A and B are shown apart, each in its own frame.
Chain A
């Protein structure tokens, strides 16, 4: 398998079977450095399975995922994260028992100290640099006023923004977003789009799985359309929009 130089994530010839079901077949996906790559498709097309394979939650039946020259397949979630891949989940995964600020400080320690360090000498209150960085990140996502409250008491939209902040503070090379605006109001969706556009200008590579066409066409540089576990079309947003096969698979399906 050969990976072109500007490709940061290469999903190479991945198959995934669940029993007799071919959830993913012949997936070959190349995500270019600094680009926002959207994966769309009807329900059950295999989008989440694909993301789970990338992040190491599921092992592919065959094929490999290569990130920045390193094979991710078989690596543990924390190892993949330490290589520079962060993920926003479909249902926000945050630390509901910690304060909002602590939620954002925690990933900063993973970035600074690695996967394991018994860090008990300096009190948390004295970690000024980490704290300031966390506050700046919260400022970015618009949650700075809520920093002292327990993360469990946030609204669903705010939880998503918090999770995004937790990923952003790590300055990942690759950010995976699983339906970042699902269940959000139109207003919250637009705020999130603005936020993601803002990050985009910082050159972070992103893979977005999304149902909402409005979000996809606002953000994506490139779109891959997944249907029945296969990529049926790929290209610039304008090309994909006009592709009759896409319209058939996508609009003729659940949506």
Chain B
């Protein structure tokens, strides 16, 4: 069946990627990050970044407002919990549909412009959503206190099958509670599915057409393509990815606040994508993991941990090193993030994926020569 077919290179990538994602609890343990809450974030923000890259990486349209769709997804999922059922499936489906509708509306207007004007338009829409969530839309978003579950929620579907219990219910999947590792494996499984979909897009004629739009939009229209629906389709698909990620944030922690839509959140996914490698499949995932790792682990470093780390240095030197390096961790982790970002953009414009490519070509120059003749359709997708 065509629908499940991928080029061999991508099948291998998908297999390896699945192993890496599903064994996270093992290989993250030595890095001190193997707790479910953080691993859930790794999976969720990878979904967000992979989806963002479908727009930015393929069509070149840089959206600075994708956090709006993340927020819409979260609010929708929480409302699904409140009104219908605590099951994750309807919550996620509604999150995807709702963010898709929002993306269609915002994309329809924003895509009338390109370049910096497009970016500014998306930023304006996202900030508008953020401010509305805080003000006019308080009945829907619960404003500053964030939208939360209460024991009085109607939950119509759940109430048909069982009585109201004391205390707050938690999200479940077909009756199984989604705490801890359950939540992580749900996020991980969904990440693998949407990664596969992204691979399908990257290796398809549609993906090539999106790349062609990025390369030369004029030629595209004189070639007989109506470019607007193409960019809009990419925008809606990536908005739905963001909505799904937002829905999963609500599934793993059922509350939704407006700060999720703020421009810093939109900027973060841009950072993730550029850091990992724009237009590659794995790059955004790696970028998301790196930034979430720094945000959660680096920010927890304090002077005592640093002192232990550098205890092998002579006393005077140790104090100096700890003093300097403490500025880059803990509250100062953003400084490290910024420096890493600057270094990557200056020396590796293709992100971390370009770094690995360069290392590979250093070692495998001879092998590459042999296989180059075979590789006629140079789809960068498998990377």
Q: Interface on A for B, CB 8 Å cutoff?
A: 55, 76-78, 81-82, 86-87, 89, 93-99, 101-102, 105-107, 109-111, 113-127, 131, 147-148, 150, 166, 170
Q: A97-B211, A118-B233 are in contact. Are A81 and B378 (CB under 8 A)?
A: no
Q: Which of A89, A116, A123 contacts B229 (CB 8 A)?
A: A116
Q: Are A119 and B223 in contact (CB under 8 A)?
A: no
Q: Which of B206, B211, B226 contacts A119 (CB 8 A)?
A: B206
Chain B residue nearest to A130 in the complex (CB): B205
Distance between Cα atoms of A170 and B209 in the complex (Å)? 16
Q: Are B215 and A120 in contact (CB under 8 A)?
A: no
**Closest approach, in angstroms, between the C-beta of A130 and any C-beta of chain B?**
8
Since A96-B215, A119-B204 are in contact, a sample of 7 more A-B pairs with Cβ atoms closer than 8 Å, ordered by chain A residue number, is: A86-B223, A106-B223, A109-B205, A113-B205, A122-B5, A125-B377, A147-B376
| Chain B 224-255 interface residues, beta-carbon cutoff 8 Å to A | 224-227, 229-230, 233
Q: A106-B208, A118-B206 are in contact. Are A55 and B222 (CB under 8 A)?
A: yes
* Sampled A-B contacts (21; CB under 8 Å): A78-B221, A78-B223, A78-B226, A86-B222, A93-B216, A96-B216, A101-B376, A101-B377, A109-B209, A117-B206, A118-B206, A120-B205, A120-B207, A121-B3, A124-B205, A124-B377, A125-B379, A147-B376, A148-B378, A170-B223, A170-B224
| Chain B 142-197 interface residues, beta-carbon cutoff 8 Å to A | none
Q: Are A99 and B223 in contact (CB under 8 A)?
A: no
List of B residues within 8 angstroms of A101 by Cβ: 376-377
Distance between Cα atoms of A79 and B373 in the complex (Å)? 38
Q: Interface on B for A, CB 8 Å cutoff?
A: 2-3, 5-7, 200-201, 203-209, 211-212, 214-216, 218-227, 229-230, 233, 372-373, 375-379
Distance between Cα atoms of A120 and B230 in the complex (Å)? 12
**Closest approach, in angstroms, between the C-beta of B155 and any C-beta of chain A?**
37
Distance between Cα atoms of A114 and B200 in the complex (Å)? 21
Distance between Cα atoms of A61 and B17 in the complex (Å)? 59
Chain A residue nearest to B1 in the complex (CB): A121
Q: Are A78 and B225 in contact (CB under 8 A)?
A: yes
Distance between Cα atoms of A82 and B224 in the complex (Å)? 5
Chain B residue nearest to A77 in the complex (CB): B221
Which residue, B2, B214, B226, has most C-beta atoms of chain A within 10 A?
Answer: B226
Q: Are B208 and A102 in contact (CB under 8 A)?
A: yes
Q: Which of B212, B224, B227 contacts A111 (CB 8 A)?
A: B224
Q: A95-B219, A118-B233, A123-B5 are in contact. Are A107 and B203 (CB under 8 A)?
A: no
Q: Are B224 and A81 in contact (CB under 8 A)?
A: yes
List of B residues within 8 angstroms of A115 by Cβ: 224-226
